[in-house]
Amino acid sequence: MTDARADTLDGIRRALKRGKLDEQAAAPLAARLKAHKRNLIPKRAAGLDHRGQIALFTAMAEGVNATVARVASAQDVPGAVAEYLSRLNLPSRLVVTPDPALDDIPWAKRPLLEIRKGRAEDGDAVGVTACSAAVAETGTLMLHSGPESPTRNNFLPDTHIVVLRANQVAASYEDGFDQLRRKFAKPEGGFSMPRTVNFITGPSRTADIEQRLELGMHGPRRLHIVLIDDGQA
């Protein structure tokens, strides 16, 4: 049985009219990978100060049908969530990820909110998660999987509420990548990616029927971002 891997690599090398790259020839390529240099970053967000980036993030997120509520501190989150749910006549049962980033939210302040901590299941109407970063350039949230942040919580509930801290707002996707590299750095060098990194820009949508835009196809119908100023904005 011929080896598909060898055949494919041989075919590539034949087409490129050379053999396998030796260590010396491969060194600059390995270096390029290691350096992971940034390419051109648009000035749109990168050219702003942090307050400008927060404002841009908000505008861009709202531009893609996310909603953004600003609160002063973690203390105000339960109230903001309760107000949002009641305004839209949504159920007050929430599944909240067991994420330490949400530990300082005093849910007890709103006892009518029924909180379940854990993995989302089908039928959960409202899910609350934290996130790892927010990209001002396009109003995009970065979330990653982990023992305290199961990916399905971003997709199964009808309504996804994300608690975002102002100091998590960054300019670009590249800022998000660098954050992952720092957070998951390995002692021997390099870093280990989580299983899933989601870049989420607005709620789920489709235009597959006559190009008519409809929100909430398979993922959440609504994406609500509670932005904690923490004195940053």
Partner 1 sequence: MKPTSHAFKENARAALGDVNLQKAMTNLRAGFVERRALMISRLPEWDGLRDEAVAIKRHTLANLDFYLESFERNVIANGGKVHWCRDAAEANATVLAICRDLGAKTVTKGKSMIGEEMAVNEYLELNGMIPVETDLGEYIIQIRHEGPSHIIAPAIHLVKEQIAESFRATHTKLDPKRPLDDARQMCDEARGILRQQFLAADVGITGANFLIAETGSSIIVTNEGNGDLTQTLPRAHIVLASLEKIVPTLEDAATILRLLARSATGQEFSSYTTVSTGPRRPSDIDGPGQYHVVLLDNGRSAMLGTEFEDMLRCIRCAACLNHCPVYEAVGGKSYGWVYPGPMGSVLTPTLVGIEEAGNLPNASTFCGRCESVCPMRIPLPKMMRHWREREFSRHLSPASWRWGLAFWTFFATRPRLYHAASGAAARMLGFFGKRRGRFRSLPLASGWTGSRDMPAPQGRSFHSLWKSRS
Window 35-94: residues binding partner 1 (CB under 8 A): 36-40, 42-44, 60, 63-64
Q: Segment near partner 1 (CB under 8 A), from 49-57, 69-77, 99-107, 207-215?
A: 207-215
Q: Which of 45, 96, 163, 200 binds partner 1 (CB under 8 A)?
A: 200
Instruction: Supply the Cα-derived Rg of the chain in whole angstroms.
Output: 22
A 10 A CB-CB count for 174 gives 17
Q: Please report, as a single letter, which amino acid is at residue 115.
A: I
Minimal distance, residue 104 CB to partner 1, in Å: 22
Q: Strand ranges (DSSP E) for 50-158?
A: 67-71, 93-96, 114-117, 126-129, 133-135, 140-144
A 10 A CB-CB count for 4 gives 8
155 binds partner 1 (CB under 8 A): yes
Tokens of 1: 């049985």
Q: Which of 187, 189, 209, 231 binds partner 1 (CB under 8 A)?
A: 209
Q: Tell me, by CB under 8 A, how many residues bind partner 1.
A: 75
Q: How far is CA 142 from CA 24, 135, 154, 199, in A?
A: 38, 7, 11, 5
Q: Which of 140, 164, 171, 222 binds partner 1 (CB under 8 A)?
A: 140
Nearer Cβ to partner 1 (30/185): 30
170 binds partner 1 (CB under 8 A): no
Nearer Cβ to partner 1 (49/122): 122
CB burial of 24-49 (b: ≥16 within 10 Å; e: otherwise) equals eeeeeeeeeeeeeeeeeeeeebbebe
Q: Segment near partner 1 (CB under 8 A), from 49-57, 69-77, 162-170, 212-220?
A: 212-220
Q: Which of 90, 115, 173, 229 binds partner 1 (CB under 8 A)?
A: 173
110 binds partner 1 (CB under 8 A): no
Taking CB under 8 A as the criterion, which residues in 8-37 touch partner 1?
Answer: 8-9, 11-13, 15-17, 20-21, 26, 29-30, 32-33, 36-37
110 burial class (0-12, 13-18, 19+ CB within 10 angstroms)?
middle
Taking CB under 8 A as the criterion, which residues in 175-194 touch partner 1?
Answer: 177, 192-194
Q: What sections of 16-150 are H helices per DSSP?
A: 23-35, 43-46, 50-63, 77-87
